[in-house]
């Protein structure tokens, strides 16, 4: 493992990241249950209220919760400075985020004003507190330049996505700050997926690919110019209202080239041992290229293959097959690594305690990670089937429940071993 240039002296409590990860999994399980009870008709349009609720279970509920928790650990490691009063900020944000996101999801299903008002207030306060705390650190001069710059862009994209989302929610309450326009909804989705999700994945990849996989560093030009290129394309989407499809096409090319280059770096890693995380990266690369090819095909040809909702199909594939695949891969590395690192920091005060340290495979055995990958492949296959033949939705709900329950088991198992080791160290 290559740890050069990283700082582990300002890590926040490990309980914080586990709390975020467990909440994220619970949101995903909620999404699976919603699929189970919603029937096949929700798959016929992306505007169905239950489909909007399901989408936000996975985007705001699962993906964003994981990313916000991981940022609290990543920032002090790569930047050398943590958020002041991180415990209070993290706990306050998580409470507002969980109740705000739950209110938002419920408001799609039961469109009553009290739920929408609660979502606007709770999400505004929660993200306001978190983002102010993060910005107070990110405005400083930090090390690991390109990663920090990309994180700054990702947070700008998150802020823009949130503002658009809150304005659309306010419009539903009768506060017509912005007009009803499908273009605004598209902007919300494009900035969320291609900005917030993709840019943060790129920022974290710059660090964890050389670090965890002992692979070569990313090319300096890619590190310096790729984030700028994506942010310029995203800004162009706002300005060029009539050219959204062309700009989405360019964003797909950029992300496809990035993930292919990343897989090329992984092929050059020094120890070519079987690694489930690498399989997740490769699967996400295949998924992104598939989405890119499907995007190029004319709509009537897609419909001939049974794809009646191309936008819904492509968005679902990007979110679940590309973004969530990468997040699973990252979680499989982050959970055991942070558990080991936190314990190691405690043992540095007394080297005789080092013998109590479990190795990383004990925190997360490779066969358990491999099982998660196979479950993910099954879910991905059933998702594609459901997008074409909506009657498969019950099987999709079942495979999602299996997959995320297994992820929850891995989280709990890892934390239990951490707690048991801490007890031994303290005794």
Contact 206, 150 (CB under 8 A): yes
Q: Which residues contact 374 (CB under 8 A, 6 or more apart)?
A: none
Ramachandran class of 140: left when φ > 0, alpha when ψ lies in -120 to 50, beta otherwise: beta
pLDDT in tens, the chain (427 residues): 555 556 666 678 888 999 999 999 999 999 999 999 999 999 988 889 999 999 999 999 999 999 999 998 888 877 777 788 889 999 999 999 999 999 999 999 998 999 999 999 999 999 999 999 988 888 876 665 788 889 999 999 999 999 999 999 888 888 777 766 788 888 999 999 999 999 999 998 988 888 877 788 899 999 999 999 999 999 998 888 778 888 999 999 999 999 999 999 988 887 777 789 999 999 999 999 999 999 998 888 888 777 778 889 999 999 999 999 999 999 998 888 888 888 887 777 777 777 778 888 888 999 999 999 999 999 999 999 999 999 999 999 999 999 999 999 999 999 999 999 988 887 7
CB 167 within 8 A of CB 177: yes
Q: Using CA atoms in the order 187, 190, 194, 195, what is the torsion angle rounded to 10 degrees?
A: 30
pLDDT at 5: 58
pLDDT recorded at residue 33: 97
If DSSP codes are grouped into helix, strand and coil, which group holds residue 272?
A: coil
What's residue 148's pLDDT? Answer: 87
Is 162 in contact with 155 (CB distance < 8 Å)? Answer: no
- 141 phi and psi angles, rounded to 5 deg: -80, 115
pTM (2 d.p.): 0.93
Rounded Cα gap, residues 32 and 90, in angstroms: 26
For residues 57 and 105, the answer to whether their CB atoms sit within 8 Å is yes
Residue 92: the pLDDT is: 95
List all residues 6 or more positions away from 154 whose beta carbon is below 8 Å from its beta carbon. Answer: 195, 196, 199, 200, 203
360 to 23, 128, 310, 354, 406: CA distances (angstroms): 23, 36, 42, 14, 19
Please name which of 134, 161, 270, 284 lies closest in space to residue 215, comparing C-alpha atoms: 270
């Amino acid at each position: 493992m290559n740890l050069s240039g990283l700082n582990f002296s300002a890590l926040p409590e490990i309980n914080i990241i586990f709390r975020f990860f467990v909440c994220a999994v619970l949101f995903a399980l909620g999404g699976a249950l919603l699929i189970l009870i919603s029937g096949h008709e929700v798959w016929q349009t992306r505007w169905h209220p239950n489909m909007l609720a399901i989408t936000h279970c996975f985007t705001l509920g699962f993906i964003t919760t994981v990313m916000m928790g991981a940022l609290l650990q990543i920032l002090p490691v790569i930047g050398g400075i943590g958020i002041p009063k991180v415990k209070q900020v993290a706990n306050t944000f998580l409470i507002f985020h969980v109740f705000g996101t739950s209110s938002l999801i419920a408001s799609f299903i039961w469109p009553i004003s009290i739920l929408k008002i609660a979502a606007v207030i709770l999400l505004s306060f929660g993200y306001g507190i978190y983002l102010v705390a993060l910005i107070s650190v990110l405005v400083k001069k930090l090390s690991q330049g390109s990663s920090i710059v990309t994180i700054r862009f990702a947070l700008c994209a998150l802020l823009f996505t949130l503002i658009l989302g809150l304005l659309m929610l306010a419009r539903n309450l009768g506060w017509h700050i912005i007009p009803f326009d499908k273009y605004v909804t598209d902007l919300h989705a494009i900035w969320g997926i291609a900005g917030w999700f993709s840019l943060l994945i790129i920022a974290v990849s710059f660090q964890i690919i050389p670090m965890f996989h002992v692979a070569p560093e990313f090319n300096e030009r890619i590190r310096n110019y790729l984030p700028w290129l994506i942010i310029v394309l995203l800004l162009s989407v706002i300005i060029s209202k009539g050219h959204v499809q062309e700009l989405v096409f360019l964003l797909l090319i950029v992300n496809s080239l990035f993930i292919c280059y990343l897989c090329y770096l992984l092929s050059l890693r020094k120890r070519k041992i079987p690694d489930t995380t690498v399989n997740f990266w490769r699967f996400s690369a295949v998924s992104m290229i598939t989405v890119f090819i499907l995007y190029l095909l004319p709509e009537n040809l897609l419909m001939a293959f049974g794809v009646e909702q191309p936008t819904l199909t492509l968005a679902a594939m990007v979110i679940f097959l590309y973004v969530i695949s990468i997040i699973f891969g990252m979680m499989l590395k982050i959970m055991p690594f942070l558990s080991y690192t936190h314990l190691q920091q405690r043992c540095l005060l007394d080297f005789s305690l080092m013998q109590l340290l479990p190795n990383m495979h004990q925190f997360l055995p490779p066969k358990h990670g491999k099982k998660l990958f196979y479950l993910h492949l099954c879910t991905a296959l059933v998702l594609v089937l459901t997008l074409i033949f909506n009657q498969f939705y019950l099987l999709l709900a079942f495979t999602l429940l299996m997959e995320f329950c297994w992820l929850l088991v891995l989280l709990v198992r890892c934390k239990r071993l951490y707690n048991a080791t801490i007890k031994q160290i303290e005794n």
